[in-house]
Amino acid sequence: MDSEAAGGIRSELVSSEYIRVPELVKYIYQGDSNSVGNLLQEHPDVINAKITSLGTTALHVATIAGQVEIGTKLMELMSPEALAIQNVYGRAALHYCSSTRMARYMVEKNENLVTIADKWRIIPVVSTSQWAKTDLTVYLLSKTPFQLLSGENIGNGSLLLQWAVMSKMFGKSCTPSLLALMFY
């Protein structure tokens, strides 16, 4: 059932699992930080809410949309634990990050984010390595416990190596620290 709240913001309680706030998603994708801020001031309970049928939060949306400034403002309003909210795929917002700056802020606020495996047991350093951003991969790799890339978790190590090779991280932009971290 649709309802219109103060300020003309529509929200729809779809189920006990999530509340649909289409304006928030639209504002985030458009990079309209003023409208995002105004909406969250009027409806602070939405900051940690799952706002899509896939269980994504506003932070997931900002991360996927590459809206670093909005994502940073959202993280300032969220508790460290809220950064770990997972969508239906078991992914926290860090799994979708393509910005080293945003990832650094997330991990500084909650260092356990690097250990969250999705429903396929993929950890953030592996899922973000597909963006071929060496600095992001090196940063997350430096924060990820080695045991999450070896032993019974060797699948993560193998996938990380595969993405690094496919995205040519071993080319001119590859740093010795990336090699050392991957083969430590």
Distance separating alpha carbons of residues 76 and 60, to the nearest angstrom: 14
72: enclosing H helix or E strand: helix 68-77
Q: Stretch 123-141: mean pLDDT, rounded?
A: 90
- Checking if the pLDDT of 106 tops 80, the result is yes
- Checking if the pLDDT of 174 tops 50, the result is yes
- Checking if the pLDDT of 48 tops 60, the result is yes
Distance separating alpha carbons of residues 27 and 39, to the nearest angstrom: 9
Mean pLDDT, the chain, integer: 85
The pLDDT value recorded for residue 90 is 97
Q: Stretch 103-125: mean pLDDT, rounded?
A: 97
The pLDDT value recorded for residue 1 is 37
The pLDDT tens digits for 25-40 are: 999 999 999 999 999 9
Structure tokens of 147?
Answer: 């045991």
The pLDDT tens digits for 159-173 are: 998 888 887 776 655
**Range in 6-10, 126-130, 152-156 with the lowest mean pLDDT:** 6-10
- Checking if the pLDDT of 124 tops 60, the result is yes
With bands split at pLDDT 50, 70 and 90, how would you rate the model's confidence at 152? Answer: confident
Q: Comparing C-alpha atoms, which of 165, 176, 105, 175 is closest to residue 134?
A: 175
Q: Comparing C-alpha atoms, which of 62, 64, 54 is closest to residue 90?
A: 54
The more confidently predicted of residues 135 and 94 is 94
CA distances from 159 to 72, 83, 93, 152 (A): 29, 24, 20, 14
Residue type, 21: V
The order of strands in the sheet holding 19-20 is 2-4, 10-13, 19-20
Distance separating alpha carbons of residues 48 and 78, to the nearest angstrom: 7
CA 138 to chain centre: 17
Contacts of 96 (CB under 8 A, 6+ apart): 60, 63, 64, 127, 128
The pLDDT tens digits for 63-97 are: 999 999 999 999 999 999 999 999 999 999 999 99
